Structure 1
Amino acid sequence: MHLICTSIVFLILIIAISTEDQCCEKQYKKLNRELRKLRRNTSDEISSLRTKVTELEKIVLKPGTGPDVGGMTTAPTTKPNIDVRLPTNLHPHHYKVELYPDMYKQNPEDFKFTGSVEILLECKEPTDEVIFHVNALTIDDASIEFSEASGAADAPKKQGQFEEDEERQFFIQKLDKPMVKGKNYTIKMAFRAPLTKGLAGLYLSSYEEGGVTKYLATTQFQPSYTRRTFPCFDEPAVKSTFDITLVRKEPMVSLSNMEIKQIVDRPGGLKADVYQTTVIMPTYLLAFVVCDFDKSEGVTANGTKFRVWSRKEAVNQTTYALDIGVAILEYFEDFFDVDFPLPKQDMIAVPDFVADGMENWGLIIYSETSLLYDDTGSSASNKQEIAGVVSHELAHQWFGNLVTPGWWDDLWLNEGFASYVEYLGVDFVHPEWKMMEQFVVQILEDVFKTDGLAASHPVYVPIGHPDEIYETFDKISYYKSSSIIRMVNNFLTEDTFRKGLTNYLKDNAFGNTHHTDLWKSLTDQAMSEGKNIDVGDIMNTWVRQMGYPVVTVSRNGTSAEATQKHYLLDPSQTPDPKYPSPYNYLWKVPLSYTTKSESNFINPPIIWMNEETKSLNGLPTETNDWVLVNVNQIGYYRVDYDTANWNALIAQLNDNHLAIQVRNRAQLIDDAFSLSRAGIYNVDITRAMQTTNYLINEREYVPWFAAIENLRYIYQMLGSTGSFGDYSKYILKQILPLYDFLGWNDSLKNNTHLEQFTRSLVIAQVCDMGHQACKDQASALYKEWMDSPDDNKISPNLKGTVYCNAIANGGIEEWDFAFERFQNENLAGERVRLLQGMACSTQPWILSRYLSWSFDETYIREQDALEVLVYISWNRIGLPLVWNFVRARWDYIFEKYEESVFIFTYIINIITETFNTDFHLQEVKCFMDAKAAINKLGATQRAFEQALEKTSSNIKWMENNYDRLKTWLQENS
């Protein structure tokens, strides 16, 4: 699954549990409650055994002998300690599943789905219970059949009615005697559930076409929602084959993971699409869609059929995704040296979807924004986002689908790997986009902010309570993981890295692994080439402890001493005690470096820093001959220098910035500002600002992106102070030469991709700094559009800035015009730009109305509601309105979006990131404590802890830096 924070495409796991049928069963369930308690004894015994095994592992396993190499990482203790894992005495080898989503009644509230399942089970250990997962399904007890697969008459028989363990979401069927180890059995049953609008399980989506509301049924099963569609063993390690049958009416079509084998006529004019048997796979990668869509199609060089589906009115927007999808699938077959194992690859854009994309094997489901592209209406950023998401999900077809982590504590390996190689896939089809340069500012430097908090967490965190599964879908799992995998690729070399990956995939195809299996494959490959590198020994220091180091380089003649220390945004904070470091916050750091005289940015030497201090020798003696560490910012660490070296690097930027590679120019800016915020390194706020002096001559996108991202913090801190005017003057002085050079004449065809990115970034910043000519141009372009609504001549790259500034400078007429266009817009990317632009109003009553509309589906789709809160939070005037709105309606929002962890926690981060007073701190703390007391925090608790930490840090920053920065700005603006 793919998530992009930069473009605010988020994971929204919204559970829409129907209660209508369940209410009828409440009395029945109450009567069986005591009986269920007795049945849980079995699960409690298993839990107890697992606990004992874990304790023994700590004692028995030596480093290098098992999955806990390098020490244990303590799991969170904020959740009740229940064992949610299924017993392992039964293994399902094959399912037969039939589903009929009935969307043909007059009233959508009457829509439902019915189905049946037959599971072939192997008994691994004798047991007289059949236990698997069920959630929010009504099962027909009379339909349950249990028998030995061979048909033996003396097989165990179903005893009594089934039970449900609601907390664990277990289905429990008692038998009259135990099953026999080694024998196969089958269990069958029928079930039903309402087909409702939610964004998990099998759910209902809708759209308007030709003035008619049309419906489709679609799925989102990751991480644990297949059990909401049919009874199953819903864990990633439990792999099976599946025979799927989807029932529909014409002209609807159905899609699933495999190709249709045959179509069978059913009574009532129904058609049953019977699919080919799947490969061995986990339940969460299944996918079902019944819709009235159209497609574009192609074929890969290896003969894999490739199709992209969408609403019929949008099928002309599928061509780009088809073209790059075919190319990237072929690229990954070559990159992994493993053929794609399915006969076809479908991709489909649905109107209501949980995230950017979901990697279901052979049927990837996307949000419309992440798949549909229009040559004239989509921006360069839309195009890059689509390429990135398509590449990410296709990478999962191998890394996650072919080889699957055994449990969700290794989700990071799935998502981190896909988040890294997505950049390789896009770089293959668009080398001119310089994706590996963009990686530094979009991924690495972004996650540094989160991982520099004491309230961060390690990459690998054992999962106990089900809620903790959702907590793993965060920047650490996606961005940090991809950054350290990129580091592995570099220190092994790409050839060794790829060969090791190929061995890992081939050795474990259609199986399950632990991340130590990958480390072993990479180590074995390195050793076979004569490289004495133990990948697991190195990488355990990066995945099993939170945070990252600052390497401080102090020169002394021809040598230098490098020391490492855990970076914390607020050094007075203590790292979260739930995650003690097994390595005392020391890392095995690959130190790459170059100097002014050597200028080796292609193949620099690497020295391993395996301890707290390391010496660098053979350096030049001239004071102006700088040393630069972490070449191309490949390593996951920051770098500080002695004063003389910082001065030499800054002088180089001012004299000839091109002497330093573009990624390292971005690194110097990002490191300087981050080190100055911590307040204990050799960089204060004035030296950090000095790294931006040279920007008056900078033309590259990546350094400017890094600068604006870091200066945004200054903007937030000074926004309501008397120094904001001097700050704006300074930024305009630095950026106006580039603004004048690029101008407003933007062309999707005649300008390079990064030139379009840079122009969009610069114009947005200049307008944001209050440059009147910029704001006037935005308003004029918007007015021209209002005068000719069907002829929008604004460049798609600039529409976001134009809409925002024109609506901010205008009133209700401009806002209502945007809303009317939003309601009738067919292009998903344009709808997002309009949602964002409407959030820029400077009139509180308009923003308040927008907030109230965001939770009314008459105006805003359910999947967009939380994003509207984010967009309004970006607005300085809107921020306090959102903060009050969220607190006033917290209980409603929490219950509706409790499992929408990524966007829910992002909203908390956005709302609180500018808080920098004791009053703010107390507001956050009081609200957090009040909601924690009534169990209304859930997975957002970590976000609030981080908000408190950042607010405290902001307060200290204002106390320590404001006066010095005020003076510096007066002197330099």
Structure 2
Amino acid sequence: MEASKRVLSAASSRLSRLVDLTGRSGCLRRANFCDRVPPAWLVDGVHRRGEAPPLLRGSLRQTAWPTRAQAVAARGYSSSHSNNKNNNINTTPATKRFYSSSTCSISRRPNLCVASSSQPRVSSALSLKRNCTSLTPNSAILAVNMSARDILPDNFRPVNYDLQLTDLDFDNWSYNGTVEISGELTKPTTEIVLNVLEIKLKEAQLEIQGTKATVSQSTQNFTYNDKQQRATMVFEEEIPPSAKASLKIKFSGLINHDMAGFYRSMYKPAVPAAASVPRDEQFHYMLSTQFEACDARRAFPCFDEPNLKATFDIAIEIPSDQVALSNMPVKESKETAPGKTLVSFDRTPVMSTYLVAWAVGDFEYIEAFTERRYNGKQLPVRVYTTRGLIEQGRWALEHAPKVIDYFSEQFEIDYPLPKSDILAVHEFTHGAMENWGLVTYRTTAVLFDEKLSDVRFRNRVAYVVAHELAHQWFGNLVTMDWWDELWLNEGFATWAGWLATDYLHPDWNVWPQFVNEGMGMAFELDSIRASHPIQVPVRDALDVNQIFDHISYLKGCSVIRMLASHLGVRTFLKGVAMYLKKHQYHNAKTDALWSALSEASGTDVNALMAPWIEKIGHPVLTVTEKSSDGAISVKQSRFLSTGDVKPEDDTTTWWIPLALSGKVGTAEGEVQSLSLTTKEETITGVSDEFYLLNSNATGFYQVNYPAERLAIFAKQLDRLGPADKIRISSSASDLAFSGYAKTSSLLSFLEGFSNETEYLVLAQALDAVATLKSVFGEDDGIRAGLNAFSLKLIENQVDKLSFDVPANDSYTNSLLRKRILLAAVSNGHEGVTAEAKKRFDAYFNNGDKSAVHADLRITCYRAAILSDPATAVQTLKKEWAETKAVDGREVCLGALGHVQDAAIIKDVLLPFLFDASPDAVPPADVHIMATALAANRVGRPLLWERLRDDWENSVVKKLGGNPILVDRLVKNSLGKFTDAKVVDDITAFFSNQDTSGFNRTLETVKDKVRGRASYKERDAQVLKEWLKENGYLNK
């Protein structure tokens, strides 16, 4: 290490000269360039400079070839053009990828990349300096992500799309279209390759404006590559390059039912619909789009990559009694035939194809306006629904204008579009989609009925609206350069969404909620060996759906929250504003954000954050208390839920903000801004009476305190804030699961929460016990003991809460009531279960609709399911079909998954879940009941049996049109087993299936099962003995 430091020190004196060399392409052609630049700087500098790899190849072929090339190859690159056959250094995958494309993505599209600026040499200098100062013997090539991307040829750069859709056929679910793509033809060509999927090209015409005349060629010669989702248009004669080119294409497409591309959603209308609305015997249909990540190509021919930004002019011919929406306001509506209207929209800003959107349906809207003025006017904000549901959009409409104003102020850039529309879509894969100016939502993520909706959806709608509006800046205005930096979009929008929700609802305690829910889910996935870094290489964009996961969203948010807390939120937002202003309407990389934050804070943010973004996993801090000298030792190592960390797993040293409370001589609650930057350090002057690491739970790491300290915390709960209580109990649960700590210590700590009144803290404690029941619950004795433990934990709250909900009940008290009563039923409280069942009967059998409050439906449904499953299942299936509540179907499906009768599960519920009948659960909701069944010890093996024995019908045919749904089903259905033999079954079964859309998820599922099996084998007897010794289980 010391030797490498001396080398770097000596090299720094040459830095300015080397930077100057990399800034001038002529120097690259000098034969001695490779001799003068260290290999790491050579590759990093040339790549970041955007200089074409052939120049590098030329330098490597000079006299320095053997030594220089071998050194460069050590970083994963080599020259595939070498004539030196004795050098076997061109065989690594990275080597082949490096030279497989003619130029790197930066040099190919300089006008679309952050690396292209008015001062490229300065940009290169900053990149080179940053890389040089951070190099260590253990740093490989993480500073340079040169893994080749499977991207389109670069001979055509789009600038504008003029898209028109006509002849919408609701009998055959088809349409015709024309698109004129204006742009630049960058080199002579006879072929143009673009993205299409389920699109039939009819004719294409390429026209360029030459220096003397216009050149035009037409073709109907098309070849399709279905695997790559591309079409090649072949022209008879070579066409010369031109700065002004136009590609006109006639095509036809399908309005599918896969919730991707241009698709149809079925629904039952709340009121009579317009005459032209498509319908069948059971359902009506609305039309909308979902293009992220790679499905714009399913709606129109396009260059479907995020850094190929363009403007869009969109026009749609629709039935005159329906409504068309798109990203921009309507420019013109013109009758084309009796009953037909062509609706044209204003031109969009420059944006990525995945953000294009349109919708057609029997829509109505409500409208509000921002308080701030944009271009001299208050901005109109509308919520659209199918007719009859619009009043349920009031809650979202109350929030959206305020959020737009808030972000405009925080980001120091006004919302850039002339309108903001919100659309509720009846069938939707995700929660929402941030299409610029037309955000689309799953109904339960945007609609809220004050009388019929569960209170938790009030929180969900407020947050999801804020998350999607954050994207209008972070993702839409400035877009990630490629899918490997998806986290830039999603991690930030998650953090900003909670920031805005906290601003609007400070009484909701949303950050402790995030610690409980968001961080908890991030830790779970990040603690698996088969997980992935936040910034994960994506060669093929078609693989990206699998990284729309808790790492990109929730770990991404967690590390942003950690950094913002360290820098100060105001300083952090100042850097964000600088980043957005510099890169607006362009693409950017993570380094660009770090640079802006570094400038705003005076801190080398890249040095702090690189391990968090580029490395897999997170650390656990093991605390050792020195004997009576006021010192503690903290040691970091990688945390794995399986507990079997190997030396090769533990090679990362993270920057860890310790946020220490309890230093001697400091005030109560004062937090010391200390950081751990080595593997182990000793901190002196720590109070033996009370201290706390990671105060307010802003750091993304586990803390393994001595068991004695955890016992002390149980007696000092009044000195801990809600987020601290949540994180300590959650961490104790994770540490017990992995074997770092004892399950007995966890339960002893949780016993101290019997007098807790904070909803989120009790929720976390109950979650910890639920995890134990999930792992050990197949043992009847342990399950009975944990039920008794849970009832003892909540008995004080059960005595205070009733099923009669006051009209003025607070949001947090409503959540507490719901959680405590549900826990009472789930753990066998006879009195609460009897009351819940009585209310269920009164509601469904006696017509007393006041008997069951909307918040307590799930509690009453659960009681009925456990008491009389056969009757309850038929009742809830009927309610599922007829409910008027926007969340009613989700509540019913969640309850049905808790049936404990194997025959009912197999003969009634699984057919209801997986059959293709219109009366069965629709594809978008399959995961809801499947998740509940997988958590059910009786349902879990039956669910797997159905999937294994009927994969083709239950999964491929029902969900296969949308790989996101298949991935989600696998993720939620198979990870709860506690027998390691099931891993072999899963491996054997899927060895004969196409797993390309969920191969990453499959590995994480198997890792989860291994961890659960290991925990069960290790602690089952210990847990049973503790429950006996402490009076929860008869001896």
* TM-score normalised by structure 2 residue count: 0.82
Deviation per CA, 1:375-412: give whole Å up to 9, x if none.
Answer: 11111101111111111101100000000001111111
Pair 154,673 (structure 1): closer, same or farther in 2 beyond 3 Å? closer
105, 111, 114: which one aligns with 2:176 = 114
For the pair 1:618 / 2:685, whether they are aligned, the reply is yes
Residue 451 in 1 paired to residue 526 in 2? yes
Q: Find the aligned partners of 1:216 and 1:232 in 2 and give their Cα distance.
A: 24
Aligned partner of 1:288 among 358, 362, 387: 358
Report SS of the residue matched to 2:368. strand
Counterpart CA distance in 1 for 2:836 and 2:128 is: 65
- Secondary structure of the equivalent of 1:831? helix
In structure 2, the partner of 1:542 is 612
Distance 1:196-1:832 versus aligned 2 partners, 3 A rule: same
For residue 883 of structure 1, what is the amino acid of its counterpart? W
Indicate whether 1:271 and 2:333 are aligned. no
Matches within 5 A, 1:409-808: 409-527=484-602, 533-556=603-626, 557-572=629-644, 584-595=651-662, 604-620=671-687, 623=688, 625-652=689-716, 657-679=717-739, 681=740, 683-721=741-779, 722-747=781-806, 749-789=807-847, 791-808=849-866
2:150 match: 84
Task: Look up the match of 2:185.
Answer: 123
Q: 1:368 to 1:703 in 2, by over 3 A?
A: same
Aligned-pair CA distance for 1:724: 2.1
Please state how far the C-alpha of 1:814 moved relative to its aligned partner: 2.7
Two-structure CA RMSD over aligned residues (Å): 2.9
Amino acid at match of 1:501: V
Q: Secondary structure at the match of 1:816?
A: helix
Distance 1:495 1:83 in 2: 37
| Counterpart-to-counterpart distance in 2, 1:193 and 1:903 | 23
The answer as to 2:184 corresponding to 1:184 is no
Is the CA contact (8 Å cut-off) linking 1:569 and 1:678 kept in structure 2? Answer: yes
Select the residue among 149, 174, 188 that pairs with 2:234: 174
Deviations for 1:853-912, whole angstroms, at most 9, x for unmatched residues?
A: 223342122322333322332333222221111111223455343585665445444444
**Aligned counterparts of 1:761 and 1:597: Cα–Cα separation in 2:** 40
Q: Given the alignment, which residue of 980, 988, 1001 partners 1:943?
A: 1001
Structure 2 SS opposite 1:300:
strand
- The residue identity in structure 1 corresponding to 2:706 is D
Q: Which amino acid aligns with 1:728?
A: N
Does the Cα contact within 8 Å between 2:180 and 2:247 map onto a contact in 1?
A: yes
Change (3 A) 1:553 1:150: same
1:363 aligned to which of 438, 449, 455: 438
Q: Deviations over 1:677-712 (max 9, x none)?
A: 222x3x311111111111111111222122122211
Corresponding letter in the other structure for 1:205:
S
Q: 2:986 aligns with which of 911, 918, 927?
A: 927
Pairwise CA distance, 1:196: 2.7
Q: Which amino acid aligns with 1:490?
A: S
Greater shift after overlay, 145-154 or 633-642? Answer: 145-154
What amino acid maps onto 2:260 in structure 1?
A
One-letter code of the match for 1:824? E
Q: Structure 1 residues 751 and 103 mapped into 2: Cα distance closer, same or farther (>3 Å)?
A: farther
Deviation, 1:355, is 1.1
Code of the aligned partner of 1:163: T
Q: 1:262, 1:902 → 2: CA distance?
A: 36
Contact 1:924–1:944 (8 Å) recurs in 2: no
* Cα distance between partner residues in 2 of 1:598 and 1:736: 40
Letter in 1 for 2:983: V
Q: Pick from 374, 379, 394: which aligns with 2:454?
A: 379
Whether the aligned pair in 2 keeps the contact of 1:891 and 1:936 (CA below 8 Å) is no
SS at match of 2:1010: helix
Q: 1:796 to 1:219 in 2, by over 3 A?
A: same
Counterparts of 1:726 and 1:751 in 2: how far apart (Å)? 33
**Residues 750-899 of structure 1: pairs in structure 2 closer than 5 A:** 750-789=808-847, 791-848=849-906, 849-854=908-913, 855-859=915-919, 860-896=921-957, 897=959
Q: Answer yes or no: is 1:311 the counterpart of 2:311.
A: no
Higher deviation after alignment, 229-238 or 792-801: 792-801
Change (3 A) 1:66 1:776: farther
2:231 is aligned with 1:196: no
How far apart in 2 are the matches of 1:428 and 1:255? 31
2:824 partner SS: helix
Tell me how far 1:821 sits from its aligned partner. Answer: 2.1
Listed as ranges, the gaps of 5+ residues in structure 2 are 1-94, 108-114, 116-123, 273-278
Q: Amino acid of the residue matched to residue 731 of structure 1?
A: S
Deviation of the 1:304 alpha carbon: 1.0
CA drift of 1:671 comes to 1.4
* CA distance in structure 1 between the partners assigned to 2:731 and 2:605 by the alignment: 27
Please say if residues 156 and 177 of structure 1, whose CA atoms lie closer than 8 Å, have aligned partners that are also in contact: no
Amino acid at match of 1:637: Y
- The equivalent position to 1:72 in structure 2, one of 141, 145, 163, is 141
Q: How does 1:27-46 map to 2 (within 5 A)?
A: none
- C-alpha distance in 2, partners of 1:915/1:814? 27
Tell me the residue number matched to 1:14: none
Residue equivalent to 1:32: none
AA paired with 2:868? Answer: G
Offset from partner CA, 1:56-107 (integer Å, 9 cap, x none) = 99x9985724999864359999xxx995301223211111000136255xxx
Deviates more, 1:801-810 or 1:515-524: 801-810
Task: Return the alpha-carbon distance in structure 1 between the equivalents of residues 96 and 307 of structure 2.
Answer: 21
- DSSP 3-state at the match of 1:723: helix
Q: Secondary structure at the match of 2:904?
A: helix
Deviation at 1:847, TM superposition (A): 2.2
Offset at 1:153?
Answer: 4.2
Count of residue correspondences: 896
Identity over aligned residues, as a percent?
Answer: 26
Relative contact order, higher structure (CA 8 A, sep 6+): 1
Alpha-carbon distance in structure 2 between the residues aligned to 1:67 and 1:114: 56
Give 1:730's aligned amino acid: F
Deviates more, 1:182-191 or 1:318-327: 182-191
CA distance in 1, matches of 2:101, 2:307: 17
Cα contact 1:670–1:706 (8 A) shared by 2 = yes
* Residue 547 (structure 1) shift: 0.7
Any idea what the Cα deviations from partners look like across 1:346-374, whole Å, max 9, x if unmatched? 00101111211000000000011111111
The CA deviation at 1:158 is 4.1
How far off its partner does 1:573 sit? 5.4
Asked which structure has the greater CA Rg, the reply is 2
2:893 and 2:929 in contact (8 A); partners too:
yes
- How many Å separate the matches in 1 of 2:195 and 2:1015? 50
Q: Spell out, residue by residue over 1:570-599, the C-alpha distance to the aligned partner (whole angstroms, 9 max, x if none).
A: 232559x9xx88xx2210111111128778
1:107-162 alpha-carbon deviations (Å, 9 max, x no partner): x4x22111110010212344332221111111113xx2221147964626346612
Unaligned runs of 5+ in 1: 1-43, 528-532
In structure 1, distance between residues paired with 2:105 and 2:342: 48
8 Å contact from structure 1 (residues 804, 839) kept in 2: no
In structure 2, relative to structure 1, the CA distance for the partners of 1:53 and 1:392 (3 Å cut) is closer
Further displaced range: 810-819 or 714-723: 810-819
What is the one-letter code of the residue matched to 1:287?
A: A
State TM-score, norm by structure 1: 0.87
Distance 1:423 1:901 in 2: 29
Query: Which residue of 450, 456, 463 corresponds with 1:388?
Result: 463
Q: Distance in 2 between matches of 1:341 and 1:752?
A: 37
8 Å Cα contact 1:738/1:762 also seen in 2? yes
